[in-house]
Amino acid sequence: MNELTPRPFSAAPGEVEALLGALYRNRRTFAWKTGGLDADGMRRTLGPSTLTLGGLVKHLALVEDHYFTHLLLGDDYPAVWAPMAQDEDWPWTSAADDSPAELRTLWLAAVARSEAAVDRVLADADLDRELALADGPETLNLRRVLVDLIEEYARHTGHADLIRESVDGLVGEDAPR
């Protein structure tokens, strides 16, 4: 599940490069922690939690589409998220019915849409330009969206790290290059 488009990252990045680099690193580590498992591994839980690696993959695909496609660009959610109208927990509960390949494809497609959205915004704005939210009168800027996504990935990559270790013992901080 580590099929992300590589992002170059210099030793002394500017702010945009630093934020995009941090997001990419978190995505890459998440992909490594959730990749290469069969369906049973993707459904495994740890302790009293109901979190699964598959649920985390599907949730982060939704988060990508929520922040970048919906909030930032103001576009409708992709059709894949329609079942959420009846069940807001659908990404978590339905992931057990998806194959690892389906989950990977869903997540990678959401990441690709997000990267295109970022490129689109950066083409005619910087990190500070206020952008109207699709869901209301508030505004936000791209910096805030990127920081929120970095935080979301950091939290859930920690969850994935613990679950993955319980599945097959895989440990480590960064995905191998």
Segment 58-69, tens digit of pLDDT:
999 999 999 999
The answer to whether residue 20 scores a pLDDT higher than 80 is yes
Give the span between the Cα atoms of 13 and 107, in whole angstroms: 27
Give the span between the Cα atoms of 137 and 47, in whole angstroms: 42
User: For tokens 């990508």, what's the residue?
Assistant: 64
Q: Model confidence at 2, in pLDDT bands (50, 70, 90)?
A: very low
Q: Give the list of residues 6+ apart from residue 56 with CB closer than 8 angstroms, or none.
A: 30, 34, 156, 159, 160, 163
pLDDT score, position 162: 96
pTM of the prediction? 0.93
- Domains of the chain listed by start with CATH number: 15-168 (1.20.120.450)
Structure tokens at 64: 């990508």
User: For tokens 């497609």, what's the residue?
Assistant: 109
pLDDT digit string, tens, across residues 44-57? 999 999 999 999 99
pLDDT score, position 1: 44
Phi, psi of 68 (to 5 degrees): -90, -50
